[in-house]
Structure 1
Amino acid sequence: MKKLLFGFSALCMLIGVGANAADTQLLEQLSGHTLDAKQLKFSQVESCESLEKMLEKYAKETQEPLYRTFGLKKELAVESAAPMAQGIAAEAAMTNSISSSHTDFSQTNIQKIGVDEPELLKTDGTYFFYYNEKTQKVSIVASPLDSKTSTLDGTRIQLVNEIAVPKELNDIELFVTKGRLVLMGQLSDYGDAAYASFLSYQNRTVVAIYDISDIKNLKLLKFENLPGSYQDARLIDDQLYVISELRFNRWNWKGKSHDFRKGLASVEIDEQGAKVLPIECSQISYVLPEDKNLSLDPVFTLIAGIDIRNTSKKVSTTALLAPNGEIHMSKNALYLVSNFYTYNNWPCPSGLFCVMPVFRSTTQTMIHKFSRDRLNLKYQNTAIVPGSLLTQYSMDEDSDGNFRILTKVWEKHLSTQLYVFKPDLTLAGKLENIEPGEEFKASRYIGDKLYLVTFEQIDPLFVVDLANISQPKIIGELKIPGYSTYLHPLKKEGSKQYLLGLGYNTTQNERGGTVNSGVKISLFQVDYAKKQGDMIEVKELDSLNQGGKNSDSQVLSNPRLFVMDKKGNVTLPLHLVERAHQGEKCNITYDLQGKEQKKDCTPIVEPSEYFVGLKTFSVSPEKGIKEQFAKDYLKDILAKKGITTTGNSKQIQKEIWNNEEIFSLQDMRVGYAGDALYSFSNLFADFIFPNKKNYSIWFK
């Protein structure tokens, strides 16, 4: 035993000496290599036979096991997808339609002008289209706003039609534009045929396109049953791009037939009937390097380009054997961005005693660029940057076609990196190690400026100048309590740019750590004409806190739900918990004689009031942020049971978790139609007029 201990100690000592030695050749060898992007560019598959050999080799040699995936039942497979279209046919409903349209209504908050993003609730100003997860229907509700007179009439609000959605279809999202409704979702089944295929067949992507010009008689124009799990979509004019993902099932590879044409086929149903559309192996582009040091799983990413106006036009399919994690799309290009790992070892830092000379793997981000020509996508180039992406707002293409991307890096220390690429996706410039030790929380690109939020215990807001793409630099900084998770651009007046930040206020807990303590709304002013030393002036003009610990808003994690009207009023769905001090909790130590030596006390903070509903805030540089209106649905619901929303009541908490009506408010969507506010939940749609009168529709 002593020999074993001595041997282990000696090994540790040798490792420690090696890490500190002047000759670092061994550590350099062990620390891996910098990945060359040339290894990861797309190549074209020559034939189904070559694709099969490539995947078979990968199945045998790859280091990391894939998670088990399951197939789709035979009755829902490609050959029998046609009957599912009838399950999504529109059901007739009730009342007269309003044919006119207007622009005085809220729409989905999007990142790029002209590139629409999908959501559960869409409106064309005349009707609201809302997918209700409880009823499993798309409910179509007439708007109260008369576009000709700009007046509100509560009698206009009525359920005019519904679309029944099969129970097997989930993750529904919608687009609405110029007489077209697009429904997308994921068809899921986990049945007995789970192990039958070398591809994970349990999920299919469904796209249904409706003509809504006659709202009482909806017409299904096209139905697409696409391979793979639904990931995301974008709509530019009449061109729809739907992205799905199909995983390779290694455990079912051996001894199975590998019919790629059938496995990647889609089913199309239109006025001419049903057609099975296979994908030829020669259509597939792949990124699958033989480097065993990489964790690149063989995943099929499929991009279906669909003309929603001319539905007889053939679907343009881009088939890629490459993973995708997030997308960025402009009118000119599509970027597929994903994280992967390299098993490069990290050397023990100098002066640190380690039991191993090297450790840690490396996270990297891979970017593939495709140029866009209407429905056709053409591969351009690939780039790799260190670190991992946060959200789609971490990247942007500017008006000159330069691509900017932010990542957070965890190796050695936490930091934020910025990389700028030319239109050909070659590196133009970079800004690394931004605020080491702090975590990247939010970003927004506006023209040639980047606004960036990082956080550890306070919230630094950085302004980065991107005018010189080869030398991006920080030109402004502000440090304040709390942090933003979403930044929304407001107006620009002369040299002043205004921003709205939505996020969390923070406090220290009893252990000295930082915790969220309510929703925070901040109004920032960036004045490029004023300087403080070498930096421009960045100020928080005003802020407003809502609630305490455990308070939240869906907008903080889903910017598509952000709503701001023409007057600068912001309406947010909010779940607030106000907290109040209720005494102290003290730890007291005594000496042997019973005399008090030390007393450490922390305040006891307990819930004192609850709020679940919507609030509207006016926002302006002159008057700051002011609460204008609040609708507390929780208060109204609890009042029916004789319960108030104040006090630390276990009964209130029980109702919040168990009451179906309250629970349905967790995914509430809010917006405006003219001067009326509205909210949609799984149980009802509520319209609130300026005179505070409510008009509601209950969904069944």
Structure 2
Amino acid sequence: MPRTPALLALCLGSALALASCAEAPPRDPDPARTTPSGPWDAAAAKAAVTVLPVGYLADFDDCADLLTYYQANALELVGPYGLGGGWYGAEDSAGGDAGTDMAASEADGASRPDHSTTNVQEEGVDEPDVVKTDGRIIVTVANGSVRIVDAADPRILSTVPLPGRGDTLYPSEVLLHEGTLVVLSQEWSGAPRPVDDTFVAFSPERTVVTRVDVSDPSSPRVLGSVRLEGGYRSARLVGDALRMVMVTEPPGVVQTSPRSGSMKAEQESTERNRELIRATTIDDWVPHVQVLDARGQVQSTDALLGCDQITRPRDPAGLSTMSVLTFDLGADSAEPVSATGLVASGGTVYASPDRLVVATSAWDVWAWAGSPAIDTIWPGGRPAHRTSLHVFDISDPTTTTWTASGEVPGHLLNQWALDEEDGVLRVATTLEPAGASQSSSSSLVVLREDDGSLVETGRVDGLGVTETIRSVRYLNADLAAVVTFRQTDPLYLIDTSDPAAPRVAGELKIPGYSAYLHPIGEGRLLGVGQDADERTGRTKGLQMSLFDISDPSAPRQLQVLSWPDSYSTIEQDHRAFTWWPATGQVVLPVTRWGGWEGTSSEDEEAFGGVTLVTVDETGMTEGRSVSTAPKHRGWGEGPQRTVVIGDSLWTLDWQGLARFDLATLEGGWVLDLP
């Protein structure tokens, strides 16, 4: 498969890897060579590295067909230093939202006060986080442990036992659903030692999914775990159905490297690497799953996906396998109840109540070796920046089914760039041309599922010329808000009521930009981001803006609050945002880097804490601020998350928890989480 200039950047992980990407691979010296799957089929290999003539995905006839696909594409890429970066990994190892709403248990309302939930993108679609609460308990992920805290009496009730390999297991996120806790962990293992001058091409990755019964929070009980080969990307929970997206690099492929720096040694190494690829079996390429008991002992090891559950995209897109797994939290077993796979990478994950979308950009996949056939495969040459979109039906809680795929030009900011409803997909994308004489710009593209393809029905181009997208919010099926920025902040309101003819309904240019947008009632929109110099675009500090969007053709900025030389974790992570409708308050985590020479806060101390902002019919009112760090910590750092339970505001940072009265902000540090 050909190499594009944009993809070449992916090989910059090391100088040796770059040399591998830069070398055009030699032709196979022996097309008749026999592999473990039978005689090498040159025609099948050629088909494997060519785009599909029609459609976006294709099934494989059998495991031999799938193996040929992996091998043929690897042979297009391999050079004297092999695939991946396992050699370096071995050396290193050897060296050492619909917004936050009030929720209460209907069955146990008296004992569970109203409480905030994770600020998610879509109502009814929960997202994993580093803290979860049901009003009675707070579950936190901090410093490699999952702890359950009593919300009424701040103390650690228990530390959740995690079956795994001792200190190599690191929990990253949790989900809490009707007395069941799901812990998503990464498990690190040292790279295998080189054997016979070979090394593992790709560093091992493991993800462990653990289900825990926390109906008695003082004595959590592990229900079961699975260890998965590959890296966790994201997960979504709808009802009892948990979908998790994984990406697995080939787990069993080994490679070698030159014995010296001579060209002869490099050629010999390339030939040896090609031999090693041709000698692989299907087990070396596909991910596996282990079922663990409550003590972490392996009960079984099997392929995670059958060959008939893996498909290929229209354009060969790397050597990794992207898997979408379905777990039933109402079932007795911890194993996934269904799985589907695609030979591709995956980065951005979005989900509506009945669709899951995985976006793969050119930056997510392997750089492919050069080929003179680029104009044959992609007439006119492939655009430098494209994003592939793969849509899965998740309306059936027991299974996940691929429905459609397509492409859009450019790259996506994050999950907020995507939206789906009734088979219509809206995508906000920024195109940054490689040529220095060309300007960046953004688009909103509308696509519809049509017989396995995402067919474009309409688009708006030319948004924010010379700028890039900084935030997106789909307010309803008919209206989207897009913010772009370079020196000023154009807020675009885009009418998508006619999928065939989306249009810019209104535009507002103001200094700075909003990195996160949140609707507050009818016709008003809140933005959290940075103030900036209108002439230079240099950011000056945190700001919160209130917009009137009741007339989409004439959006207005009603009010701005600013905090010089400050920023908020909300700007990078929407889950840090808390809106509490009962009191009309926004809890704003704030970090101020005071004391820096030349800043407006040069004479002020650094600050890390929260500021309360009340939003009502009259506008925004800045309330009290309070430091949330322990008294002994001398630097300013805002909390990772904020949680409201009853009349209390809880804050979580990497050291522990603080609790304050929501009305007065009286309180302070209550619990270390070492």
TM over 0.5: yes
- Paired with 1:230 and 1:71, the residues of 2 have a C-alpha distance of 22
CA drift of 1:297 comes to 1.5
Q: Judge conservation of contact 1:72–1:203 (CA < 8 Å) in 2.
A: no
In the alignment, which of 100, 109, 126 is matched to residue 136 of structure 2?
126
Q: 1:278 to 1:695 in 2, by over 3 A?
A: same
2:557 to 519, 533, 540: 540
**Which one of 458, 483, 491 corresponds to residue 521 of structure 2?**
491
Cα distance per residue 1:491-544 (max 9 Å; x no partner): 11xxxx111000000126xxx63211100100111122xxxxxx7221111110
Matches for 1:150-549 after TM superposition, within 5 Å = 156-164=153-161, 166-170=166-170, 172-193=172-193, 200=202, 202-248=204-250, 251=255, 254-255=275-276, 258-261=280-283, 263-270=286-293, 274-279=299-304, 281-287=306-312, 296-312=317-333, 315=336, 316-340=338-362, 362-372=384-394, 373-398=396-421, 400-411=422-433, 412-424=438-450, 425-447=454-476, 448-492=478-522, 497-507=523-533, 513-528=536-551, 536-548=553-565
Amino acid at match of 1:679: T
Which of these residues, 560, 567, 580, is aligned with residue 575 of structure 2?
560
Shift of 1:621: 3.3
Q: CA deviation at 1:47?
A: 2.3
Distance 1:328 1:194 in 2: 39
Match of 1:41 among 56, 59, 78: 56
Structure 2 distance, partners of 1:406, 1:47, is 38
2: CA distance, partners of 1:61 / 1:280: 25
- Following superposition, the deviation at residue 62 of structure 1 comes to 3.6
Q: Hey, what does 1:644 align to over in structure 2?
A: none
* Partner SS, residue 491 of structure 1: coil
Aligned to 2:35: none
- In structure 1, distance between residues paired with 2:455 and 2:382: 28
Deviating more after overlay: 174-183 vs 318-327: 318-327
Q: Distance in 1 between matches of 2:458 and 2:649?
A: 45
Task: Tell me the CA shift for residue 364 of structure 1.
Answer: 0.3
Q: Which runs of 5+ in 2 are unaligned?
A: 1-49, 94-107, 257-272, 371-379
- Deviation (angstroms), 1:229: 1.1
**Is there any run of 5+ residues in structure 1 with no aligned partner, and where?**
1-34, 77-97, 145-155, 346-357, 529-534, 583-602, 639-654, 657-661
Deviations 1:353-403 (A, max 9, x none): xxxxx99961001111111221311122211111111110001012x2311
- Are the equivalent residues in 2 in contact too, given 1:125–1:143 (CA < 8 A)? yes
Q: Whole-Å Cα distance in 2 between the matches of residues 259 and 194 of structure 1? A: 20
Q: 2:609 aligns with which of 596, 599, 613?
A: 613
Aligned counterparts of 1:430 and 1:635: Cα–Cα separation in 2: 51
Q: Give the match's secondary structure for 1:469.
A: coil
> Alpha-carbon deviations, 1:407-455, whole Å to 9, x = none?
1001232000111112332211111122322221111001110011111
Identify the residue that residue 574 of structure 1 maps to in structure 2: 590
Structure 1 residue 63 displacement after superposition: 8.5
Q: Describe the SS at the equivalent of 1:53.
A: helix
Match of 1:679 in 2: 651
Work out whether residues 187 and 205 of structure 1, in 8 Å CA contact, stay in contact via their aligned partners in 2.
yes
* Cα gap change, 1:667 to 1:699, in 2 (>3 Å): same
Q: CA deviation at 1:43?
A: 1.5
Per the TM alignment, residue 613 of structure 1 is displaced from its structure 2 partner at its CA by 1.1
Return the offset for 1:228.
Answer: 0.3
Residue identity in the other structure for 1:227? E
Offset at residue 666 of structure 1 (A) = 5.7
C-alpha displacement of 1:634 = 5.9
Q: Which residue of the partner structure matches residue 28 of structure 1?
A: none
Aligned amino acid, residue 473 of structure 2? R
Instruction: Check conservation: 1:51, 1:281, Cα contact below 8 A.
Output: no
- 1:650 maps to which residue? none
User: Of 601, 620, 627, which residue of structure 2 is paired with 1:625?
Assistant: 620
Whole-angstrom distance in 2 between the partners of 1:344 and 1:61: 6
Conservation of the 8 A alpha-carbon contact between 1:303 and 1:317: yes
Q: Across the two proteins, how many residue pairs are aligned to each other?
A: 554
8 Å CA contact retained: 2:439, 2:466: yes
- 1:197 to partner: Cα distance: 7.5
Aligned partner letter, 1:627:
E
Q: Which amino acid aligns with 2:181?
A: L
- Of residues 626-635 and 249-258 in structure 1, the stretch that sits farther from structure 2 once superposed is 249-258
Mark the CA change 1:184 to 1:344 in structure 2 (over 3 Å): closer, same or farther. Answer: closer
Retained in 1: the 8 A contact 2:126–2:237?
yes
Pairing 1:59-70 to 2, within 5 Å after superposition: 59-62=74-77, 67-69=84-86
| Structure 2 counterpart of 1:18 | none
Q: Which amino acid aligns with 2:444?
A: L
- For residue 174 of structure 1, report the CA deviation from its aligned partner: 0.3
Given candidates 133, 138, 150, the residue that maps to 1:142 is 150
Q: Does the 8 Å CA contact 2:442/2:464 hold for their aligned counterparts?
A: yes
- Whole-angstrom CA distance in 2 between matches of 1:235 and 1:36: 34
Letter in 1 for 2:615: V
- Report the Cα offset of residue 243 of structure 1: 1.6
Question: Relative to structure 1, is the Cα distance of residues 616 and 185 closer, same or farther in structure 2, using a 3 angstrom cutoff?
Answer: same
> Structure 2 CA distance, aligned partners of 1:233 and 1:444?
20
TM-score (norm 2): 0.75
- Normalising by structure 1, report the TM-score: 0.73
Q: Which amino acid aligns with 2:158?
A: N
Q: Does 1:669 align with 2:641?
A: yes
Kept in 1, the 8 Å contact 2:224–2:334? The answer is no
Q: Give 1:172 deviation, angstroms.
A: 1.1
Pick closer, same or farther for the CA change 1:108–1:634 going to 2, 3 Å.
closer
Instruction: Give the letter aligned to residue 670 of structure 1.
Output: T
| Equivalent residue number for residue 58 of structure 1 | 73
Aligned partner of residue 54 in structure 1, secondary structure: helix
Q: Deviations over 1:583-629 (max 9, x none)?
A: xxxxxxxxxxxxxxxxxxxx99845332111111111231x222222
- 1:547/1:632 Cα in 2 relative to 1: closer, same or farther (>3 Å)? farther
Task: Check whether the contact 1:388–1:407 (CA below 8 A) recurs between aligned residues.
Answer: yes
Task: Check the 8 A contact 2:325/2:339 in 1, yes or no.
Answer: yes
1:334 Cα shift?
A: 1.3
Larger radius of gyration: 1
More strand as a share of residues: 1
Counterparts of 1:371 and 1:108 in 2: how far apart (Å)?
Answer: 24
Structure 2 CA distance for aligned equivalents of residues 344 and 246 of structure 1: 21
8 Å contact kept, 1:59–1:250: no
Contact 2:579 2:587 in 1 (8 A): yes
Preserved contact between residue 612 and residue 624 of structure 2 (Cα < 8 Å): yes
Partners of 2:419 and 2:426 within 8 A in 1: yes
Provide the rounded CA distance (Å) in 1 between the counterparts of 2:199 and 2:311: 21
Amino acid of the structure 1 residue aligned with 2:612 = T
1:47 is aligned with what amino acid?
D
**Taking structure 1 as reference, are residues 224 and 676 closer, same or farther at Cα in structure 2, changes over 3 Å only?**
same
After the TM superposition, which residues 56-95 of structure 1 pair with which residues of structure 2 at under 5 Å, given as runs? 56-62=71-77, 67-69=84-86
The corresponding residue for 2:116 is 106
In structure 2, C-alpha distance between the alignment counterparts of 1:51 and 1:283, rounded to whole Å: 9
For residues 557 and 525 of structure 2, what CA distance do their matches in structure 1 show? Answer: 9
| Residue 670 of structure 2 is aligned to residue 696 of structure 1 | yes
Paired residue secondary structure (1:440): strand
Equivalent in the alignment of 2:261 = none
Indicate if the aligned counterparts of 2:404 and 2:449 stay in contact, CA closer than 8 A.
no
Distance 1:218 1:693, change over 3 A: same
Q: 1:38 to 1:235 in 2, by over 3 A?
A: farther
Tell me which residue corresponds to 1:587.
none
